[in-house]
Structure 1
Amino acid sequence: MGRIDDLANWYVEEWAPLDPIASTYVGIGGYDDKLTDMSLAGYAAQADLDRRTLAELSTMEPANERERVAKEAMRERLELALARYDAGETTSELNVIGSGLHAVRSVFDLMPLAGEKAASDIAARLGAVPRALGEYQQTLLEAARGGHVSAQKQIVEVAKQCDSWTDPNADDFYPALVRRVEQAGELPAGLRADLERGGEAANAATVEFGRFLREELAPLGGQNQAVGRDRYALASQYFLGARVDLDETYAWGFAELARLESEMRNVSDKIVPGGSIDDAVAALDADPARTIGTKEAFRDWMQELADRAIADLSGTHFDIPEQVRRIECCIAPTSDGAIYYTGPSEDFSRPGRMWWAVPQGITSFSTWREVTTVYHEGAPGHHLQVAQTAVRADLLNRWQRLLSWCSGHGEGWALYAENLMDELGYLQDPGDKLGMLDSQAFRASRVIVDIGMHLELEIPADNPFGFHPGERWTPELGWEFLRAHCRIPDENLRFELNRYLGWPGQAPSYKVGERFWLTAREEARARKGKDFNLKEFHRAALDLGSIGLDPLKDALARI
């Protein structure tokens, strides 16, 4: 490997001690007993590393095409990270899904429970939670005093999550974690005492953080949840790794949703002849053959389908390395409604995992809705993409394999993978096909609502749904639109709306990213002509690692 790869590998070594939480996420060992410094100084140290790395990177010329891709990817990601830091976005970030609070809690999900070393790491980390959340409080307050603060409603919603995590009748997260560790094996009395003290301290710190949010930070937050065009443009570029015309993308969202709902009506007619989409959904939901009664049984169903997809795709449509053929399906220990994937550890001792945080009150599951979710989170979606990147040490430097992530690339690929499975013949059942189209329509609705609400755009007078023509988007209209076009439980949908309002620019990255992938595939087909091979296109594209969509487009054009 050349100088650029050496710099990238050095960056990982410097970065890991600055962010022990993220180091656990990507599977770098040695930091599992620590939490990240969430003070202003901690954020500044990360920004300083990025600046020094970019300065050095600018002096280097790539030795070959592979290093050229690495340089472009690293420059694009680090420049945008610094742009967000300099704009005050990083130190003020607080929302219902992607904040420092969530990082502290969710890192425990990825830690092994059995054995004295595992228990000792968890005890130490639990004991560090009060300090970390205290630092985060001060950082958020300082950012707010500088004019950077989340909207008041978003702050209150996060406080409600603190309530749920600490409620013995709800998630009861930290005490439940301690119980799981103690049940995993015999431990010395002193270590058990450390665990219990740590769990109590972490729980109390989370209660205190909820109080801080309500009583100190929320009064500083604004009433308007829209971030405006300038902030949104930066957020969109960060999540996509590309600059897009936001007005054109907004208009495209309406056209794409109308196209998908037309296709949904055609498929629905095969399920309930002459019936509507809602009639088909009702029939599928009422079908006992498509219903699973417990979350444990649902997890087992997901596992079986994920394993079968990997076995079927390996050697036929994809070359799947042996290490990547293992995935674990898990029920998350919280109940906020999120479905997500976490990648394997660097040495693959921890496999890639598919998680579902089942909301309180959800007791049955319709499989027709979730076949496509398994393909999205598993193979050929996130698991294939992320785990295959992690295993390609022969092609990718350590930064590319472990740290490089762009939502437009990753979520776009996973949504592309859902449609790909239909193209490959895996959605012959009309119910499963409707589930995939419903998933696609949900993501198209996100494009409209996210851009519309944050830019406070006018709803087109000629929109294909006759939805409040000429009015301007508000959260209330966003809720009405989502309920009209997204067929998921209100508990999940309410979380989704709060997520969009607090995490601008991320939600459209799925559908916009898929649009990039489909365009790139057709451009490659046009360049290659009769020599185009879909399996080879996928291999070459994934071998680039997770990069911004603009660098991806440029790199694919050179292949």
Structure 2
Amino acid sequence: MRTPVLLILSAAILAACGGDPGAGAPTAASSPAAADAAAVAPTGGPVELKAMLDDWWELQLQRNPILATAVGDLRYNDQLPDMFSAEVREQAMADTREYLARARSIDPAKLDGQDLLSWEIFVRDREESIAGEAFPAWMMPLHQMGNYGSFFAQLGSGQSLQPFRETKHYDDFLARIARFPVLNDSAIASLRAGIEAGVVLPKPVVEKLIPQFAAHVVERAEDSVFWGPVAAFPDAVPAAERERLTAAYREAIAAQLVPAYAKMRDFLRDEYLPAARASVGLSALPDGRAWYAYMVRQQTTTGLTPEEIHRFGLDEVARILGEMNAVREQVGFAGDLPAFFQHLQEDPQFYFGSEEEALQAYRDIQQKINARIPQLFDVFPKADYEVRAVEAFRAESEAGASYMAPAPDGSRPGIFYLNTFNLKAQPKFLVETLSIHEASPGHHFQIAIQQEIEDLPAFRRFGGYTAFAEGWALYAESLGKEMGLFEDPYQWYGRLSDEQLRAMRLVVDTGLHYYGWTREQAIDYMKANSSMAESDIVAEVERYIAMPGQALAYKVGQREIRSLREEAERELGDRFDVKAFHRQVLIDGALPMDVLASKIRAWIATEKSRPD
């Protein structure tokens, strides 16, 4: 249930080059670069701001051609820089410092409206990136939930961002394939540097990574996921070119891709796994507690501490357990709550019999929800979405569901990915809540609307914050009853089950990375407080191990958005219009939680002063 806003999605291949800055650094205001930038006398205004933001975006497309592909700009479609190299990392930080100084040369007093909002967000984000430089995230450039190997395979499958609509597109990707071994070698070099420094991944993460790379070590090119575009040439590719491209792809898969994937598989298995750590929390690494505190701040975009989040999680888990017990009583189940959990895990009536049955259930609920959304919204995305199964090569370690944004040019719809690897992890009672979260009015609704706001600067149209996107999706789940859903008590239990997962994450993530919990402690806690399948619990816990702090964003973001709605309802009374509130949350794209709060409070003040 991750958030693939395009900029975040492209970061799957950039995780080690400074785009995933780690955690717990000094505050942005205390960094030398921030101080130097702040010393520049501000003179610029809106014209200079626009020029700077345009220049920054063009630079990002050049530095990260995958991002360019993702947003439909194909000028760099044949490029794949060595994103894990020290040179690229250093250049990224130099760019960040240069543009922070340039932003500081603009006087915010001369800005208003969207310009001021863009300036505040831009400066904030650059300062956060500089703060994250204190931590060596680049030494752990991959994990089982997001790595360049699986991401590149998605690109090459012909079912993702990389276009394969004409001959040039096929040649473009051949050029990217030629650069893949270089990227692979740099990733190995980064991991080796981590071994030397004692900054290594936990063993459970490495054990999940090995089969992900091994999946692409095939005997025949036809058995590779990269053969997909060759097996489905579009009409626009002439016969003569098909013959040439078929031979070229066969050679590229055999001579470049398979050896590279095998090299990483062997390195992870033979050299890295023996050096991987038995501990699982970030606090076990050098300066790990500070690192984690920063990750918390980065992911939640709030000033909450790990201790505060842990306590909030414990309270929420207890509250939701009480509501689950009420459902048990409502459906007349005679046993206690643990027995009810076991019943829900074991009774076949709660599970799908096939992948297609599961996919069809989500396609059916798509139509039902779409018909009810106008009750609460007056802004809507133009793009549609479709429901697909997660590809087999990444399904075993993937989240239960995820979302990929539509192509900005309308050439591809949004995609709601359902993981059907283990149907026992996809109970029927999750259908309504999971569809709301991943699709509409959750991720698809919010992200597609954001991309379609053409007046926003590109870094805001295609950027994002986990707390906003995931907080919105979880808040959207809470709208189900207002839309007339969750009438079946088991579907309501599914909503509670989903919220309980997010509440347990607050406890488990902070437990693992701040309080020193073991993997087994985290698994036992989730088993005791939910009806989730054990395989799903293990995958979730290992996700939190791999992505410190990310799982906190959901419940924290939801609480912030819900709190702002309640504040608006109190302050505006009869003037409160839920459609207007939702419009205000959505129409400026993703925002840090503190910026969103300021914006909504300004809107409340305007509404209060408006004449009747």
CA spacing shift, 1:287–1:480, aligned 2, 3 Å: closer
Q: Aligned residue for 1:195?
A: 249
Superposition map of 1:163-182 within 5 A: 163-166=214-217, 175-179=224-228, 181-182=230-231
- Alignment-derived partner of residue 134 in structure 1: 185
Listed as ranges, the gaps of 5+ residues in structure 2 are 1-45, 284-288, 604-612
> Any idea what SS the aligned residue of 2:550 has?
coil
Q: Check the 8 A contact 2:344/2:531 in 1, yes or no.
A: no
Report what 2:259 is aligned to. Answer: 204
Between 224-233 and 429-438, report the one with greater CA deviation. Answer: 224-233
The alpha-carbon deviation at position 391 of structure 1 amounts to 0.6
One-letter amino acid of the counterpart of residue 66, structure 1? Q
Rate the CA distance shift 1:435–1:343 in 2: closer, same or farther, 3 A: same
Query: Which range is displaced more, 230-239 or 286-295?
Result: 286-295
Measure how far apart 1:35 and its partner are: 2.5
Tell me the SS of whatever aligns to 2:386.
strand
Equivalent residue for 1:53?
99
Distance 2:424 2:568 in 1: 45
Provide the TM-score with structure 1 as the length reference: 0.88
Q: Retained in 1: the 8 A contact 2:313–2:504?
A: yes
Check 1:25–1:82 CA distance in 2 against 1; reply closer, same or farther (3 A cut): farther
Deviation of 1:174 after TM superposition, in Å, equals 7.3
Q: Which amino acid aligns with 1:225?
A: V
Quick one: distance in 2 between partners of 1:292 and 1:153?
A: 29
- Is the 2:414–2:444 Cα contact (8 Å) retained in structure 1? yes
2:403 counterpart (341, 352, 376)? 341
* 1:329 maps to which of 359, 362, 387: 387
Number of residues of Structure 1 aligned to a counterpart in Structure 2: 537
TM superposition shift of 1:366: 3.1
Q: 1:356 to 1:492 in 2, by over 3 A?
A: same
SS of residue in 2 equivalent to 1:354? strand
Q: Paired residue for 2:558?
A: 514
1:516 & 1:297 partners in 2: Cα distance?
Answer: 36
Q: Alpha carbon RMSD of aligned pairs, Å? A: 2.7
2:73 paired residue number? 28
> Which residue matches 2:497?
438
Residue 374 in structure 1 maps to residue 432 in structure 2: no
Aligned pair 1:123/2:179, yes or no? no
1:44 aligns with 2:90: yes
Q: Is the 8 A contact 1:94 1:155 kept in 2?
A: no
Deviation at 1:15, TM superposition (A): 0.5
What displacement does 1:77 show?
2.2
Equivalent residue for 1:468? none
Deviation of 1:18 (Å): 1.1
Letter in 2 for 1:198: A
Letter in 1 for 2:548: P
Match of 1:230 among 280, 286, 290: 290
Give the AA of the match of 1:204.
Answer: P
Cα deviations by residue, 1:307-340 (Å, 9 ceiling, x for unpaired): 4323431x4321344523x112111212123221
Query: Do the aligned partners of residues 312 and 177 (structure 1) sit closer, same or farther apart at CA in structure 2, a change above 3 Å counting?
Result: farther
Q: Give the counterpart of 1:84 among 132, 144, 148.
A: 132
- In the aligned structure 2, how far is the partner of 1:358 from the partner of 1:127? 33
CA separation of 1:168 and 1:319: change in aligned 2, threshold 3 A: farther
Q: Which residue of structure 2 aligns with residue 151 of structure 1?
A: 202
Q: Is the 8 A contact 1:421 1:427 kept in 2?
A: yes
Question: Could you tell me which of 305, 329, 354 is aligned with 1:294?
Answer: 354
Q: Match of 2:279, as an amino acid?
A: N
Q: How far off its partner does 1:364 sit?
A: 9.0
Shift of the 214–546 alpha-carbon distance from structure 1 to 2, 3 Å rule, reads same
Task: Establish whether residue 532 from structure 1 lines up as the match of residue 576 from structure 2.
Answer: yes
Q: What is the rounded CA distance, in whole Å, between the counterparts of 1:145 and 1:551 in structure 2?
A: 41
Q: How does 1:123-522 map to 2 (within 5 A)?
A: 123-166=174-217, 175-179=224-228, 181-185=230-234, 188-200=242-254, 201-228=256-283, 229-277=289-337, 291-313=351-373, 315-321=374-380, 323-324=382-383, 326-333=384-391, 334-335=394-395, 336-338=397-399, 339-359=401-421, 362=423, 365-394=426-455, 396-402=456-462, 404-456=463-515, 473-522=517-566
Q: By how many angstroms is 1:443 displaced? A: 1.0
- Contact kept, 8 Å, 1:28 with 1:346, in 2: the verdict is no
Q: Which range moved further: 225-234 or 362-371?
A: 362-371
Greater shift, 406-415 or 112-121, is seen at 112-121
d(CA) in 2 for partners of 1:291 and 1:478? 25
Q: Does 2:596 correspond to 1:552?
A: yes
Whether contact under 8 Å (1:151, 1:225) holds in the other structure is yes
Matched AA of 1:14: L
Task: Spell out, residue by residue over 1:88-118, the C-alpha distance to the aligned partner (whole angstroms, 9 max, x if none).
Answer: 2245333221344444334343334454344
Deviation of 1:431 after TM superposition, in Å, equals: 1.3
**Deviation of residue 248 (structure 1)?**
1.8
How far does residue 190 in structure 1 lie from its aligned partner after superposition? 1.0
- Which residue of 1 is the match for residue 586 of structure 2? 542
Identity %: 25
Match of 1:95 in 2: 143
Mapped to 2, the partners of 1:393 and 1:103 lie a distance apart of: 28
1:30 to partner: Cα distance: 2.7
* 1:12-49: CA deviation from partner (whole Å, max 9, x where unpaired): 11101211223333443333333242212122222222
Alignment check: 8 A CA contact 1:344 1:350 kept: yes
Q: 1:158-203 CA distances to partner (integer Å, 9 max, x unpaired)?
A: 223223454789xx99703314542344662110112222333323
Give 1:227 shift: 1.4
Contact 1:272–1:279 (CA<8 Å) still a contact in 2? Answer: no
Answer whether contact 2:81 2:179 (CA < 8 A) is retained. Answer: no
Give the residue type in structure 1 aligned to 2:568: A
Provide the rounded CA distance (Å) in 2 between the counterparts of 1:278 and 1:181.
Answer: 51
**How far apart are 1:258 and its partner, in Å?**
0.7
Query: For structure 1, which segment, 383-392 or 343-352, has the greater mean C-alpha deviation from structure 2 after superposition?
Result: 343-352
In structure 1, the residue corresponding to 2:76 is in which secondary structure?
A: coil
1:520 shift after superposition: 1.6
Structure 1 residue runs without a partner (length 5+): 458-472
